[in-house]
Structure 1
Amino acid sequence: MVKFERKTIMYQILKSAHSGWRYLVLILLVIALVQAISGWLGKKPYTEGNRKINLFTLIFVHTQVLIGLVLYFLSPLVKAGIVYWKMEHIGMMIFAAILVTIGNARSKKGNDPAARHRAVALYFGLALVLIIAAILRMTMVDPSRSFFGIS
């Protein structure tokens, strides 16, 4: 009985962390995206500040995915076979993390600042759209959850 309670407590803590961490991920993605679009369209240099915000965004996205993977194996929703939790959510989020990783890697290549900003804008932008779509889909699958509420 004690083992079950620990697992349940651990699941609840990780679920809350995962729900709260998403705001940091979204904020960093928006900041990186705005900087990238501004740099690309404004023909600004690619600075150390750009590199750092992209790196922090990458780290936060990967941390979110790691927490999500642990939850995946602990979740009663996945064990119940709910398709959204078993397939859609994890697939969309891993793909979003891959996009962020590619965008960050491409921003390191080349000397053309416009190309570096464009890579971040494109890949981080696609990742942001995918993440928002996955969160919105979550609210449709489970109406007790909300986009802005910690669930």
Structure 2
Amino acid sequence: MNLYGILKSAHSGWRYIVLILLVVALLQALAGWLGKKGYTEGNRKLNVFTLISAHIQFLFGLILYFLSPLTKGPSSEALYRYWKMEHIAIMLLAVILITVGNSKSKKITDGVAKHKAIAIFFGLALILIIGSIFMMVKNDPSRTLFGVS
């Protein structure tokens, strides 16, 4: 298997780690925010692991962006436009939201407000990621929703 194949497999598999961590962190933040709970060291660690996993995923994707034949086609075709412009822009925005949310939560002293910041920013990132997955399925006939036809 060549470097492109290895990175593509890593990027495809790592997405599940990112999604699971993001969903768990979001649910925990919502529970903390709405339940008016304190912010624990466990919350902080989960948020940092979510941040790190998203950055690793973005790094895999960025390398793939320059290696993939899907970014070399004409932008006038939906398939190539999605992979060349839309996917990377949406994912960059999602990673920025995760980073900003984590950073904002560090600067806040109140536990409930920390949970609120995480819930808002991580929630927006999750919405973007899920939206991008639906766009991918629509624009790339070879892809399915989470591997389900």
- TM-score, length basis structure 2: 0.93
**Which residue number corresponds to residue 79 of structure 1?**
72
Aligned to 1:136: 134
Deviation per CA, 1:76-126: give whole Å up to 9, x if none.
010123111110000000000000000000111121111100000000000
Separation (CA, whole Å) in 1 of partners of 2:112 and 2:60? 34
**Structure 1 stretches of at least 4 aligned residues deviating more than 6 Å after TM superposition:** none
Equivalent position to 2:36, from 21, 25, 43: 43
- Hey, what's the Cα distance between the residues in 2 that align with 1:69 and 1:56? 20
1:29 aligns with 2:22: yes
Question: Following the alignment from structure 1 to structure 2, what is the Cα–Cα distance between the partners of residues 12 and 110?
Answer: 42
Measured in 1, the distance between the counterparts of 2:140 and 2:92 equals 21
Aligned length in residues: 143
Unaligned runs of 5+ in 2: 75-79
SS at match of 1:108: helix
Q: Which moved more, 1:87-96 or 1:103-112?
A: 103-112
Root-mean-square deviation (CA, aligned residues, Å) is 1.2
Give 1:10's match in structure 2, choosing from 3, 10, 14.
3
Amino acid at match of 2:83: W
TM-score by length of 1: 0.92
